[in-house]
Chain A
Amino acid sequence: DIRMTQSPSSLSASVGDRVTITCRASQSISKCLNWYQQKPGKAPKLLIYAASSLQSGVPSRFSGSGSGTDFTLTISSLQPEDFATYYCQQSYSTPPSFTFGPGTKVDIK
């Protein structure tokens, strides 16, 4: 089974800050990596798919990069509505299987 880790597990940041979250897979997953944002009491929302493709309607301040085992989600200028928990998810293999990372909580400094 492919295991996912994220760092940090939480971070405090201010509006306007550049924020970077890292996700690592236990084996190479090519670019089969997605990022989701979840706010309290809400369903997760897809931000980035295939490591670096921005989902339609998602602000351009969100970006993703990486391949193989190491991936990054970057928020270029943190906005008030971005305070949330972020999850990475691998979708490697055909047919696919899925594993979520443990999440990174971004809160107000």
Chain B
Amino acid sequence: QVQLQESGPGLVKPSETLSLTCTVSGGSISSYYWSWIRQPPGKGLEWIGYIYYSGSTNYNPSLKSRVIILVDRSKNQFSLKLSSVTAADTAVYYCARIRGSYEPDQHYYYYYMDVWGKGTTVTVSS
């Protein structure tokens, strides 16, 4: 059974870069998309971006200028870097696996996040 575990500093100073790692256990990182999602205190979920195991990425346009997601297949890990952080980036950060499939009758692909990490809290403060 695949499990995900986020790790990284819980406190980051304003203007610095937030760096988190998600370790995949119980399965291979290959053949899936892998995503980061965050949730500010008391608020809803925000998709940050994802990476395919091959290295291709897609980011939320609202964060695209500050986000980099990388994959390390040798370690079965993927990582998030968010630069120039402010207090607004304070949140619980989750990693998740994305599965996708094709609906042949109506000719479309659909995707969903079926496995999630437990989340890690990151506070931006001096």
Q: In the complex the two chains form, what is the Cα distance from A107 to B98 in whole Å?
A: 29
Q: Which of B46, B47, B101 has the most CB of A within 10 A?
A: B47
Residues of A within 8 A of B108 (CB): 30-32
Q: In the complex the two chains form, what is the Cα distance from A46 to B98 in whole Å?
A: 11
Q: A30-B106, A50-B112 are in contact. Are A102 and B44 (CB under 8 A)?
A: yes
Within 8 Å of chain B (Cβ to Cβ): is A74? no
Mask: chain A, 66-109; 1 = CB below 8 Å from B; 0 = not? 00000000000000000000010101001111111111000000
Q: In the complex the two chains form, what is the Cα distance from A102 to B42 in whole Å?
A: 11
Q: In the complex the two chains form, what is the Cα distance from A95 to B114 in whole Å?
A: 17
The size class of the interface chain A forms with chain B is 20 to 34
Residues of B within 8 A of A97 (CB): 47, 58, 60
Residues of B within 8 A of A91 (CB): 110-112
Within 8 Å of chain A (Cβ to Cβ): is B94? yes
Residues of B within 8 A of A44 (CB): 37, 45, 94, 113, 116
Chain A nearest Cβ from B51, distance in angstroms: 11
Chain B nearest Cβ from A104, distance in angstroms: 10
